[in-house]
Structure 1
Amino acid sequence: MENPQSAHAGTAAPGPESPTAVAAPASEAGTAPDPEPAATGTSRATGTGTTPETSAEPETITALEASAVLEVSPEPAPIGPIPEPDAAIAAAEQAAARGRARALDLPADGFGRLAEVSVWIAAAQGASPPRPITRARAVLLAADHGVAAGGLYPWPAGATARRAAAVAAGGSPLAVLARRGGVGLRVVDVAVADTADEATPAPATGYRVRAGNGRIDQDDALTVPELDLAFATGRRLADEEIDGGADLLVTGALGVGADTAAAVVIAALRDLEPIDVVDRGDGSDDERWMLRTAAIRDALRRVRPFASDPRSVLRVAGGADLAALTGLLIQAALRRTPVIIDGVPGCAAALTAERIAPGARAWWLVGAEPGDPAATHAVGTLGLRSFIDLKTRTDDGSGALAAATLVIDAVETAVDLDAAAATVRRPDDDLNIPDIT
């Protein structure tokens, strides 16, 4: 079944790659010659060890999670067929919603997108009315991108680490949105280049892929083993959250340069030009806009030979955060868990994930209108629509967290209206008068 929030369900064609083909062992990935020498993959190690550890996840803000660089990655786990949300349940919930409205003297389609989202959740759960969301979880992946060193952004070195530490400590607008919305928040360092300061919460181990992604206008973002590790890390994070009881996931990316890498990934997969995806949403001046356009141009020149292989696109031009997001989105779909995505990195990961595992998009909701040309191209290609438009430009999950609150409320409304309608008996019920609204 197609995602009920799709703008034109069934019209977006899946990519040419099959799940089986792209889940090949690491030795088979990226076999085409690189336009330039590949990155060496050597970078400083931080953390306390290389053995992954999993700890119980609290409901509130957690500490930054990181570990030492791992040079040897596991074999990529095979990706099975993506299940479909329950189409019969979706149809039943749509009919039930109209019945509730009629019983309560409300317009049949009066709740608009709120009703559509409740139908989507019902289909994902396989239950009508849908069950209330009891454990929504946001996973934010933090990573630095080497391309930012080219002067594309006004922020100083260490900005990513400081932002991640502020979110983890609960002292950021993002943390407030999560707290007020009842969404558990987890910040995971997969490739942050610098630590913020000595006051940063002590890191856990098991998730860090490398210290900063490669500079994609000059070098590869990741090595093949790093790509496989990042992808597996995203799948692992999804499993951990779902095994812990999560029934709704929210994603975001924290990292200076993530939007540029995401724009390159989208342009490569969609065969677009730099001018089609470049944006100055951060208020950059003309000089920075030109630098960014040039960086996207150079990165696209390096990645175009790999455009037919989405995993290689992530390796050459994406990064650990985008690869992990891609793995998370695919694993969530395999586990029949809905996900709200946000921002250009989230849209780039979604476009890549759909190419790797066609049909996964039925499990995703674009939380907020990204307002970025690259993301707009990705959303349109996926055949999805944004749920709300708050004019947010942060890419860190803020829009998705705001949308998550409305999704939770929409499901609660459907449940409460169902209970209220059950207590109402209209005089014409026995006459079997059809609903013609």
Structure 2
Amino acid sequence: MQAPFSTFSTFRQTLAAAPSTDVRAVAGAQERNRQLTKPPGALGRLEDLAIWYAGWRGDPQPQINAPQVIVFAGNHGVCAQGVSAFPPEVTVQMVANFEHGGAAINQLSKAFGAKMDVYPLDLDIPTNDFTVGPAMSEGDCVAALQTGWNAVDPEADLLVTGEMGIGNTTSAAAISAALLGGEAGDWTGRGTGVDDDGLARKTDVVAKGLALHQNRDALEVLRCLGGRELAGMAGAIAAARHHRIPVILDGFICSAAALTLAKTADGALDHTVAGHLSAEGAHRRLLNALEKEPLLQLGLRLGEGSGGALAIGVLQGAIACHSGMATFAEAGVSDG
């Protein structure tokens, strides 16, 4: 299905018209959970995850058979300001690594049975340096949103979006600060490992971007301070909602992309959970603002969708227990 929008205005309308959870499936999943051979609440958060998943799939006893991982890649003009420990050429090199199956995300996707797709977005045309002007035109940003939307397989039953883009923690910090407030230093971290001087430069760059692009709505913030890969992730997360596909969010950059949806339409992230808490310092603050509690906390800071992909296993475990366990009646066990 091609993206049903061609402007920011029609994208907002698409988000506003997105479906909600299936309350009957939720009720059925809750009833099934009460009958399973375990003490009430004994599986903790796994029980809540299974019921949440059932509601979005419209099935009180669902299965996970076709997870999809999508990695979007983009280059950032703001890298000219020295905000990253790595040169922009690494984005192209890592895309080749993804395509040849050599990256961490390839191994994690394979481990959890996920189909993995990679979308390089105009890597030969970096976004504009957001300290001197908007990173993208509306047309460029919408094109990236459309690519993300169209990348989602409607037959998938779980989605993880990841990214590759040297400099994109700078964009994520700027987006978070623009939409949630605070100083540039509150949101700017070391990303791929910049030293103290690099962190100071990066913080100054974020502050300049915030000063130049003030008082804008969420999609305008994405356009002015973001990157094509962030817009791609936002488009994919929105498409998943349209197809009733639950989403596991990855780290700081993915969460910043998702924030633009949350600030565009109320409840736009109800079909998502946070896969993990990354080592990027501001990620916890961002997740708190999104009211998302991470499933894992392993000190990851790789990106690529790696933390989200690892969390597929948690959700698979939740669904395996919910849908596969016997009820007290089926097992002939007294429920007291």
Amino acid at match of 2:156: A
1:345 to 253, 261, 264: 253
Matched, 1:120 2:52: yes
Cα distance, 1:219 vs. partner? 2.5
Per-residue Cα deviation, 1:345-393 (whole angstroms, up to 9, x for no partner): 2111111111223222110111111233433233212211111112111
Other-structure match for 1:397: 305
1:312 to 199, 220, 223: 220
2:186 to 276, 292, 314: 276
2:80 to 136, 143, 149: 149
Counterpart-to-counterpart distance in 2, 1:88 and 1:229: 36
> Following superposition of structure 1 onto structure 2, how do residues 64-103 of structure 1 map, counting pairs within 5 Å?
78-79=13-14, 80-101=16-37
> Following superposition of structure 1 onto structure 2, how do residues 350-361 of structure 1 map, counting pairs within 5 Å?
350-361=258-269
Counterpart-to-counterpart distance in 2, 1:171 and 1:24: 35
Counterpart-to-counterpart distance in 2, 1:257 and 1:157: 8
Other-structure match for 1:172: 103
Other-structure match for 2:229: 321
Matched, 1:378 2:309: no
Other-structure match for 1:303: 213
CA contact (8 A) 1:299 1:317 kept: yes
Amino acid at match of 1:254: M
Per-residue Cα deviation, 1:259-298 (whole angstroms, up to 9, x for no partner): 1101101110112210110112533211111111111111
Other-structure match for 1:214: 128
Amino acid at match of 2:74: A
Moved over 3 A (4+): 23-26, 75-78
Structure 1 regions of 5+ residues with no counterpart?
A: 1-22, 30-74, 194-210
1:251 to 129, 149, 161: 161
Amino acid at match of 2:199: W
Name the SS for the 2:211 alignment partner.
Answer: helix
Counterpart-to-counterpart distance in 2, 1:372 and 1:343: 8
Amino acid at match of 1:303: H
Which of the two has greater helix per residue?
2
Counterpart-to-counterpart distance in 1, 2:191 and 2:147: 30
Other-structure match for 2:139: 225
1:424 to 324, 327, 331: 331
CA contact (8 A) 1:82 1:359 kept: no
Counterpart-to-counterpart distance in 2, 1:384 and 1:335: 22
Cα distance, 1:191 vs. partner? 3.3
TM-score in terms of structure 2 length: 0.92
Amino acid at match of 1:107: P
CA contact (8 A) 1:82 1:358 kept: no
CA contact (8 A) 1:325 1:349 kept: yes
2:197 to 287, 311, 316: 287
Name the SS for the 1:186 alignment partner.
Answer: strand
Other-structure match for 1:138: 69
Counterpart-to-counterpart distance in 2, 1:128 and 1:175: 31
Counterpart-to-counterpart distance in 2, 1:416 and 1:391: 32
Name the SS for the 1:361 alignment partner.
Answer: coil
The count of aligned residue pairs is 331
Structure 2 regions of 5+ residues with no counterpart?
A: none
Cα distance, 1:87 vs. partner? 3.2
Other-structure match for 1:260: 170
Name the SS for the 2:86 alignment partner.
Answer: coil
CA contact (8 A) 1:138 1:249 kept: yes
Per-residue Cα deviation, 1:108-151 (whole angstroms, up to 9, x for no partner): 2221222221111111112222x211110001100111112222
Counterpart-to-counterpart distance in 2, 1:373 and 1:330: 26
Amino acid at match of 1:152: V
Name the SS for the 1:191 alignment partner.
Answer: coil
Counterpart-to-counterpart distance in 1, 2:211 and 2:122: 24
Name the SS for the 1:139 alignment partner.
Answer: strand
CA contact (8 A) 1:222 1:316 kept: yes
Other-structure match for 1:7: none
Counterpart-to-counterpart distance in 2, 1:368 and 1:293: 25
Name the SS for the 1:348 alignment partner.
Answer: helix
CA contact (8 A) 1:113 1:387 kept: no
State the superposition RMSD in angstroms. 2.1
Larger of the two Rg values belongs to structure: 1
TM-score in terms of structure 1 length: 0.71
Counterpart-to-counterpart distance in 1, 2:270 and 2:98: 30
Other-structure match for 1:363: 271
Cα distance, 1:25 vs. partner? 4.5
Cα distance, 1:310 vs. partner? 1.2
Counterpart-to-counterpart distance in 2, 1:87 and 1:388: 28
